[in-house]
A = this chain, B = another copy of it.
Amino acid sequence: MKRNYKIYQMSFLETKENYKELNKDEYDRRFHKAVCLRITHSPWKPCLRLLTTILYSNRDAFLGLADCEVEIETIDNDVERFKLNKLKPFYEKRDKYIDNIDDFWKVVLSQNTDFANYIRASDFKYVDNITKVVVKWLIWDENSNADINVRDFSITFHFKGIEHDFPEQSITKVFKMTKMQSNKDFDDDDEAGEDNETIGVEEVLTSEPVDIEWPQSYESINPSLIEDKRSPQGKKNYRQGMKSFFGWFKWTGKKPGKEFPHGEDLASLLCDDIYPYCVKYYTEAQRDLEDEYSDSEDDNSDEEPLDLPKPEGEDEDGESDKLASKKRRV
């Protein structure tokens, strides 16, 4: 009954899908049926009273608000499309400048504590080899059709190689909003009947697995190399591999608990936060480096002669490595 109450409430204000299917006659029919069915169930009396009061006295206003909830989604999509079309040439230009800054992505990713929360500390050996990150929205594709979801996107990583361990490679992973059965928590008791089809659909982020060459040092946890996935050690290694950054490339969003954990959140972090604000993160990281330098040098002798800086940036590499690693999750 609680479940049905929620259905009626949601029909009017939340689940646009439901509302679309309910014309006024149908609404009346269902609502009166609900009232008749439950009229003698006293635990629900106050709910019903509240509900009936709301629905009867302000019905047109609530129907109007339900329409508004449908309309705002269209507006949100229009705004998103407008924004992304403005950003396309901007990001292309920005990415070219970033290409000319050594270690830009290494600095951004190694200093980002949110990013570090998703992957294993040992993965940073390979994350530090990422020389390029590019997010593209699928609506930018000239061949994309009109009803593509404005939130679908791809992320491309370019890794430089490590001799005898890890090959240079570029990997693109595509993410799409997909309608899935909802996990919403309805009391599934007495009436799992006629209303089932109107609830329980939500849009979630999903992806297809993509092939990425794993480092040789990850041989023991590389899922495609584990021969016996059922032995205790095999299981353990498999799970380790799935939790690594490389495991994320296999993430689909359709097998919760059995793949890279919170893969959708890592995708959103990269797409909505790290990529758009990468310059901010880069400058913040530089400031942190500055503070570290000044802290560590304050005690030194005061009149040491200064080597003139080398233009290619080799000098600070070692130190920036050391500092970056301090910020990582361990």
Given A40-B303, A82-B82: A13 and B294 interface contact (C-beta under 8 Å): no
Contacts of A190 in B (CB 8 A): none
Q: Given the known inter-chain contacts A56-B311, A83-B79, A286-B9, please indicate yes or no for A303 contacting B47, CB distance below 8 A.
A: no
Q: When chains A and B are docked, how far (Å) is the Cα of A46 from the Cα of B46?
A: 71
B47–A290 CB distance below 8 A? yes
Tell me whether A93 and B75 are in contact in the complex, defined as CB-CB below 8 angstroms, given that A58-B101, A61-B100, A307-B49 are known contacts: no
A65: contacting residue among B97, B290, B304, CB under 8 A: B97
Asked if A61 and B319 make an inter-chain contact with CB atoms under 8 angstroms apart, the answer reads: no
Copies of this protein in the assembly total 2
A45, B286: Cβ atoms under 8 Å? no
**B6, B75, B307, B313: the one within 8 Å of A90 (CB):** B75
Q: Of B68, B99, B306, which contacts A48 at CB under 8 A? A: B306
| CA distance in complex: A75, B94 (Å) | 14
Q: Are A43 and B300 in contact (CB under 8 A)?
A: yes
Q: Determine if A94 and B82 form an interchain contact, defined as CB atoms under 8 angstroms apart.
A: no
Interfacial chain B residues near A307, Cβ < 8 Å: 49
CB-based contact A293/B68 at 8 Å: no
Measured between C-beta atoms, what is the minimum distance from A305 to chain B in Å?
Answer: 7
**Which of B72, B87, B98, B306 contacts A42 (CB under 8 A)?**
B306
8 Å CB interface, A276-300 against B? 279, 282-283, 286-287, 289-290, 293-294, 296-298, 300
Number of interface residues of A (CB under 8 A): 78
Partner of A57, one of B82, B306, B313: B313
In angstroms, how far is the closest chain B Cβ from the Cβ of A65? 5
Using CB atoms and an 8 Å cutoff, list the residues of chain A in contact with chain B: 2, 5-6, 9, 13-14, 39-50, 52-54, 56-58, 60-62, 64-65, 68-69, 71-72, 75, 78-79, 82-83, 86-87, 90, 93-94, 96-102, 279, 282-283, 286-287, 289-290, 293-294, 296-298, 300-307, 309-313, 315-316, 319
**Interface pairs (12), CB distance under 8 Å:** A44-B294, A45-B297, A48-B306, A49-B315, A50-B286, A52-B309, A53-B310, A57-B313, A58-B101, A61-B99, A68-B90, A71-B90
